[in-house]
């Protein structure tokens, strides 16, 4: 019962923005984690590269309408023609089911390529028990994929420029730099995951990647807006450092970031699990997979990457550096004062401690001992009673 109450209380504090998680204090951990993931991904990218689809590297695609032909049967049918590494997926379900086979034949001459296309079409038709004329054939050149890539890069450059200008005008240039570094982080992590997993890169992947960049920036802007409000209310009046204000802001919007991410990720999971794997709509898999990886990475970077980078950049400014030193000195002085007060209270409560006034010293011994003032030991500066009486008679 107590554990349930404690969990409920913790969730209540989270959704009221009352948590006190030290995001900035542990920023090195987040940076090391992201750095390790990016380093592994880049190593895989240099060694293995990306698994580009037919739209990027060119090739031939066969579409076989069949409700019974399986992926293993299709692969066995084309294996004698040296296409054992071809990509085979199923599209649709029931009566509208189609088996799609993609292979790279760009290394062959035109006559050899045409001959192999006809042989593979006949083999697939035989395996599916249909007429070879029913097998669809599409020849995609590599130039089309190159056009897609160049347009995607151009769109990405304009995206970066537009975002940098908007955030610089709406907030400040250093916030724009932190946001763009977080976006680059998302791109590198996503590309690394695709390289490690061998997921196929298609035009849908590119579209999804551009989509998730916008989402990642949206979440980052929400955090930055709260940071700006807290800077005005607590930092400019000298009560908190910039890093403290960033920590406060992140704790205040943490519940909102979690809710926004879950609301976006759950439908994507539905597309992947229900649409792609249960209903067989594999065309949605590439798009949904890129969205899922990107949204998860974007939610992480908006909290653990963008804001700590912003705090690190801003703490380099002289005014915030001076403010940190001033607040730190005040905290140390206050801590020392509390230590002195605690020591004094401890001595007062100690029964062995001598609490008699310092102006009194014990004299004599045994039961006849008495207290003698210091003045009587060293001589008093007050006039004696005899002198007083003489003065009166005069």
- State pLDDT tens for residues 62-91: 888 888 888 888 888 888 888 877 888 777
Give the pLDDT confidence score for residue 342 in this predicted structure.
60
pLDDT category, 17, cuts 50, 70, 90? low
Q: Does the pLDDT of residue 250 top 70, yes or no? A: yes
**Which range has the worst mean pLDDT, 136-145, 315-324, 338-347?**
338-347
| Higher-confidence position of 56 and 1 | 56
pLDDT, tens digit, 9 for 90 and up, residues 181-196: 999 999 899 899 888 8
Distance CA 224, CA 168 (A): 12
Give the CA-trace dihedral at 117, 123, 125, 129, to 10 degrees.
180
Q: Does the pLDDT of residue 275 top 80, yes or no? A: no
Q: For every residue of 311-346, which 3-state class applies, written as one string?
A: HHHHCCCHHHHHHHHHHHHHHHHHHHHHHHHHHHHH
Q: Which residues contact 220 (CB under 8 A, 6 or more apart)?
A: 178, 179, 182, 301, 302, 306, 307
Distance CA 216, CA 261 (A): 10
Q: Does the pLDDT of residue 172 top 50, yes or no? A: yes
Residue 92, sorted as left (phi over 0), alpha (psi -120 to 50) or beta, turns out to be left
Q: Does the pLDDT of residue 51 top 50, yes or no? A: yes
- Residue whose entry in the numeric block shows the structure tokens 């160049």: 150
| Average pLDDT of the chain to the nearest whole number | 77
Supply 89's token pair.
Answer: 């997926």
* Mean pLDDT, range 253-281, rounded to an integer: 78
Give the pLDDT confidence score for residue 2 in this predicted structure.
47
pLDDT category, 55, cuts 50, 70, 90? confident
Give the pLDDT confidence score for residue 142 in this predicted structure.
66
Q: Does the pLDDT of residue 175 top 90, yes or no? A: yes
Closest CA to 24 of 278, 230, 307: 307
Give the pLDDT confidence score for residue 385 in this predicted structure.
46
Q: Does the pLDDT of residue 251 top 90, yes or no? A: no
Looking at residue 273, the DSSP 8-state letter turns out to be: I
pLDDT category, 381, cuts 50, 70, 90? very low
Q: Does the pLDDT of residue 215 top 50, yes or no? A: yes
Three-class DSSP category at 16: coil
Alpha helices per DSSP H over the chain:
2-15, 27-47, 54-57, 71-78, 110-128, 142-170, 173-197, 203-230, 242-270, 283-304, 306-314, 318-349, 374-378, 385-393
Q: Does the pLDDT of residue 34 top 90, yes or no? A: yes
pLDDT category, 236, cuts 50, 70, 90? low
Distance CA 50, CA 249 (A): 38
pLDDT category, 289, cuts 50, 70, 90? confident
Share of the chain above pLDDT 70, in %: 73
HSE toward the beta carbon, residue 139, CA cutoff 13 A = 9
Distance CA 12, CA 24 (A): 23
Q: Which residues contact 175 (CB under 8 A, 6 or more apart)?
A: 167, 168, 224, 310
Q: Strand 59-65 relative to strand 98-103: parallel, antiparallel, unpaired?
A: antiparallel
Give the pLDDT confidence score for residue 384 in this predicted structure.
47
Q: Does the pLDDT of residue 375 top 80, yes or no? A: no
pLDDT category, 341, cuts 50, 70, 90? low
- Which range has the top average pLDDT, 253-257, 325-329, 383-387? 253-257
* Mean pLDDT, range 330-356, rounded to an integer: 56
What does each C-alpha distance from 10 to 15, 18, 19, 157 come to in angstroms? 9, 9, 8, 43
* Mean pLDDT, range 122-146, rounded to an integer: 83
Domain architecture of the chain: domains with CATH:
25-51+144-322 (1.20.1640.10), 59-140 (3.30.70.260)
* Mean pLDDT, range 220-231, rounded to an integer: 88
* Mean pLDDT, range 129-133, rounded to an integer: 87
Give the pLDDT confidence score for residue 11 in this predicted structure.
55
Closest CA to 102 of 43, 167, 55, 149: 55
Three-class DSSP category at 154: helix
Distance CA 104, CA 262 (A): 39
- Which range has the top average pLDDT, 54-58, 333-337, 382-386? 54-58
Distance CA 279, CA 289 (A): 16
Closest CA to 16 of 206, 278, 252, 342: 252
Three-class DSSP category at 61: strand
Give the pLDDT confidence score for residue 50 in this predicted structure.
87
Distance CA 226, CA 234 (A): 12
């Amino acid at each position: 019962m107590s554990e349930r109450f404690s969990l409920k209380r913790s969730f209540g504090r989270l959704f009221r923005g009352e948590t006190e998680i030290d995001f900035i204090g542990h920023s090195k951990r987040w940076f090391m984690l992201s750095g390790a993931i990016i380093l592994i991904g880049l190593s895989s990218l240099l060694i293995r590269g990306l698994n580009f689809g037919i739209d990027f590297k060119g090739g031939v695609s066969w579409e076989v309408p069949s409700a019974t032909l399986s992926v293993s049967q299709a692969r066995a049918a084309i294996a004698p023609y040296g296409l054992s590494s071809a990509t085979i997926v199923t599209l649709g379900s029931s009566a509208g089911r189609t088996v799609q086979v993609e292979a790279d034949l760009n290394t062959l001459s035109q006559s050899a390529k045409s001959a192999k296309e006809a042989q593979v079409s006949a083999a697939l038709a035989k395996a599916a028990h249909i007429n070879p004329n029913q097998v669809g054939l599409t020849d995609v050149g590599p130039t089309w994929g190159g056009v897609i890539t160049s347009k995607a890069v151009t769109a990405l450059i304009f995206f970066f420029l537009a975002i940098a200008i908007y955030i610089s005008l709406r907030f400040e240039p250093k916030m724009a730099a932190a946001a763009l570094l977080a976006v680059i982080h998302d791109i590198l992590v996503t590309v690394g995951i695709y390289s490690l997993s061998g997921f196929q890169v298609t035009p849908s992947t590119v579209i999804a990647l551009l989509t998730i960049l916008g989402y990642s920036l949206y979440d980052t802007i929400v955090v930055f807006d709260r940071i700006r409000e807290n800077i005005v209310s607590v930092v400019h009046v000298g009560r908190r450092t910039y890093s403290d204000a960033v920590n406060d802001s992140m704790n205040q919007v943490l519940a909102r970031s979690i809710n926004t991410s879950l609301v976006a990720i759950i439908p994507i999971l539905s597309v992947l699990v229900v649409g792609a794997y249960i209903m067989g709509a594999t065309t949605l898999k590439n798009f949904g997979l890129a969205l899922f990886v990107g949204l998860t990475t974007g939610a992480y970077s908006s909290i653990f990457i963008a804001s700590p980078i912003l705090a690190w950049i801003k703490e380099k400014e002289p005014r915030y550096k001076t403010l940190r030193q001033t607040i730190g000195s005040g905290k140390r002085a206050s801590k020392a004062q509390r230590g002195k007060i605690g020591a004094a209270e401890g001595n007062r409560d100690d029964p062995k401690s001598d609490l008699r006034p310092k102006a009194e010293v014990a004299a004599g011994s045994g039961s006849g001992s008495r207290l003698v003032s210091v003045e009587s030991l060293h001589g008093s500066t007050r006039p004696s009673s005899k002198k007083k009486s003489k003065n009166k008679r005069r």
